[in-house]
Amino acid sequence: MSTKQTTPRRKRKGETTKSKLTAIAMDLFQRKGFVAVGLNELCSAGDLPKGSIYYHFPKGKNDIAIAVVEQAKQEIGDAIQQAGAAADSKESFVAAVVQGFAHILVQSDFEKGCPVSTLALELSAQDADIASAISQCFDHWQTLVTDRLIRFGEQPDTAEQLAQISFCALEGALILARTQKSLHPLERVQQHLIQHL
């Protein structure tokens, strides 16, 4: 009886610890980059023993990076779907997606942009597993945008092209916006994308 009660509690605690580490890592990787963040800093920020990291992430930071990408894939994917469900046109949908990223920038005082792009720039050429996770993440986001544009009346081929172009422009604008500490690059990208829609 006691064993049956203890196992779920341990599982819940383990899942909570893993989620906590992933959230901390996502924040620090966005603000500082992957290379600049050490395991000791992750443990200190989460007030956790170092053993917790290796228990949940046997390959250390590389496993953590993949978990961060998976979490970002889910969170931003959910945000894209919510924006699509609330939008009444292609234009309002694209505007909502761009403004979602703008909100992240403003709330973090331009320290955080896309949680995946920093990892992509630092790691995609070094680790095949991380590169695969990043590629699948971007593909997932683009598929969600493509599907929504099709629902708004775009032809499938056109919708797919527009989704990819939108993310190319958006990711570049996020880098400029962080560097310049200004939303102007995102505002221009939003205007440009809406004109082309």
Listing DSSP states for 95-151 in one string gives HHHHHHHHHHHHHTTTS---TTHHHHHHHTTT-HHHHHHHHHHHHHHHHHHHHHHHH
Question: pLDDT digit string (tens) for 29-65?
Answer: 999 999 999 999 998 998 888 888 888 999 889 999 9
How far from chain centre, in Å, is Cα 2? 40
Which CATH class name applies to 2-196? mainly alpha
Distance separating alpha carbons of residues 126 and 113, to the nearest angstrom: 22
Report the pLDDT value the prediction gives residue 8, as an integer from 0 to 100.
56
* Claim: this prediction has a pTM higher than 0.85: yes
pLDDT band at 13 (very low <50, low <70, confident <90, very high): low
pLDDT band at 16 (very low <50, low <70, confident <90, very high): confident
pLDDT band at 182 (very low <50, low <70, confident <90, very high): very high
Report the pLDDT value the prediction gives residue 60, as an integer from 0 to 100.
87
Distance separating alpha carbons of residues 139 and 120, to the nearest angstrom: 13
Phi, psi values for residue 78, rounded to 5° = -60, -40
Are 99 and 53 within 8 A, CB to CB? Answer: no
Q: Which residues contact 27 (CB under 8 A, 6 or more apart)?
A: 112
> What's the burial of 83, exposed, middle or buried (CB within 10 Å: 0-12/13-18/19+)?
buried
Report the pLDDT value the prediction gives residue 163, as an integer from 0 to 100.
95
Q: pLDDT at residue 2 above 70?
A: no
